[in-house]
């Protein structure tokens, strides 16, 4: 399930730097139209959420995930076969990608991964599987930027759909017994969708991911994403050896300070080799801790809902940031970086002055 999460995430992250190239230089969309399309993914993520609980309780949950993956594969292959699409068609296509990816991830992360583990291992399983998906943020764009100049969108679609095909095989390899649905299951529900009691944490996370999306809307190199993986590896080591016995507040504060430092380096010394590792280290520390906070905030039988809430905060913030970067900051690199800097500063201020204390007073685990 962890590898399936990696491949599912990779199929979406490989589009982050390459889909805008296809939109602008193949389909002829403007920067503003490209931004609208990239932001539409965020709206699509939320659309299947209210139906998620109903679907997984009335149908075989692994098949719900598989059909969502198939839908995602179809939406990714359309640009290869259909040419001359107008802006609104591309926006609709990106919206459908968000719907398919959101449903597949919610079922995979909030239901299937949890059900493969004993109850006392589920927090560790959530944490580990999410880390696999986080590494896709480095692998996917790096692979896309290496392939696109040589082979165009066709190679991107092939790798993405191939990853989704392996995802389906991995899900099918695990046996999930059919469960008789409850007699009364509401069609619309927040269950397995959004943890409404986590709003301060969710908003704080959104400051981080919108800022990240802004940064990723810049013209970055494969080296940038490759070095980002080094930062992720350093974050894993830091969690194990540096922050295992440290004050709970220190991990997020350190992560946000590192991300602030990376934006300052990008602003004044954009070719520094320290840039990506610092960003990856800060992002890894902050993202992991916010996921654990959401799990600890959830009540009994709300673990899946907490996982989906984190997914929405991570992916929708990233998509919104990408959209804003293309729509508002075309050829305005310095202005974009200043906004990202302000978002990270606001995230740090909000966390240090309010969110952490609020979490300590409301956690349930």
**pLDDT tens, position by position, for the chain (365 residues)?**
999 999 999 999 999 999 999 999 999 999 999 999 999 999 999 999 999 999 988 888 999 999 999 999 999 999 999 888 999 999 999 999 999 999 999 999 888 988 888 877 888 888 888 999 999 999 999 999 999 999 999 999 999 999 999 999 999 999 887 766 666 778 899 988 999 999 999 999 999 999 999 999 999 999 999 999 999 999 999 998 989 888 889 999 999 999 999 999 999 888 888 999 999 999 999 999 999 999 999 887 888 899 999 999 999 999 999 999 999 999 899 999 999 999 999 999 999 999 999 999 998 87
* pLDDT on residue 182: 65
Distance CA 211, CA 188 (A): 32
71 touches 11 (CB < 8 A)? no
Contact 189, 53 (CB under 8 A): yes
Residue 117: partners with Cβ closer than 8 Å, 6 or more residues away: 124, 125
Task: Write down the pLDDT at residue 144.
Answer: 97
Task: For the beta carbon of residue 206, count every other beta carbon within 10 angstroms.
Answer: 20
pLDDT at 181: 63
Q: What are φ and ψ of residue 218, in 5° steps?
A: -75, 165
Yes or no: say if 7 and 135 are a contact pair by the CB < 8 Å rule. Answer: no
Selection from 131, 73, 126 nearest residue 101 by Cα = 73
Location of structure tokens 């491949």? 7
CB burial of residue 323 (10 Å; 0-12, 13-18, 19+): buried
- Residues 331 and 219: beta-carbon distance below 8 Å: no
pLDDT of residue 210: 98
pTM for this structure? 0.95
What is the model's pLDDT at position 180? 66
Residue 152, phi then psi, degrees to nearest 5: 75, -165
């Amino acid at each position: 399930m962890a590898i399936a999460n990696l491949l599912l995430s990779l199929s979406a992250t490989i589009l982050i730097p390459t889909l805008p190239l296809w939109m602008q230089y193949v389909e002829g969309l403007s920067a503003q139209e490209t931004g609208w399309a990239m932001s539409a993914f965020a709206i699509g993520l939320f659309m299947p959420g209210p139906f998620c609980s109903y679907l997984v309780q009335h149908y075989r949950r692994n098949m719900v995930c598989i059909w969502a993956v198939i839908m995602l594969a179809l939406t990714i292959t359309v640009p290869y076969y259909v040419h001359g699409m107008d802006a609104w068609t591309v926006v609709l296509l990106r919206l459908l990608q968000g719907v398919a990816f959101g449903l597949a991830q919610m079922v995979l992360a909030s239901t299937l991964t949890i059900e493969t583990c004993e109850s006392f291992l589920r927090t560790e399983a959530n944490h580990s599987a999410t880390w696999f998906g986080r590494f896709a943020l480095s692998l996917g764009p790096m692979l896309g930027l290496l392939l696109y100049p040589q082979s165009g969108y066709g190679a991107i679609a092939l790798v993405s759909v191939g990853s989704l095909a392996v995802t389906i095989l991995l899900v099918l390899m695990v046996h999930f017994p059919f469960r008789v649905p409850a007699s009364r299951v509401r069609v619309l529900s927040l269950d397995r969708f959004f943890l409404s009691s986590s709003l301060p944490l969710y908003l704080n996370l959104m400051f981080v991911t919108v800022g990240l999306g802004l940064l990723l809307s810049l013209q970055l190199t494969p080296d940038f994403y490759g070095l980002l993986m080094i930062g992720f590896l350093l974050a894993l080591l830091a969690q194990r050896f540096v922050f295992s016995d440290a004050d709970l507040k220190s991990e997020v504060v350190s992560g946000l300070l590192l991300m602030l430092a990376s934006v300052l380096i990008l602003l004044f010394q954009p070719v520094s080799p320290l840039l990506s590792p610092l960003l990856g280290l800060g992002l890894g520390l902050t993202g992991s801790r916010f996921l654990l906070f959401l799990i600890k905030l959830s009540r009994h039988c709300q673990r899946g809902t907490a996982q989906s809430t984190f997914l929405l905060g991570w992916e929708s913030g990233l998509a919104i940031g990408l959209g804003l970067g293309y729509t508002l900051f075309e050829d305005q690199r310095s202005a974009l970086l200043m906004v990202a800097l302000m978002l990270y500063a606001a995230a740090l201020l909000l966390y240090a002055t309010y969110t952490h204390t609020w979490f300590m007073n409301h956690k349930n685990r």
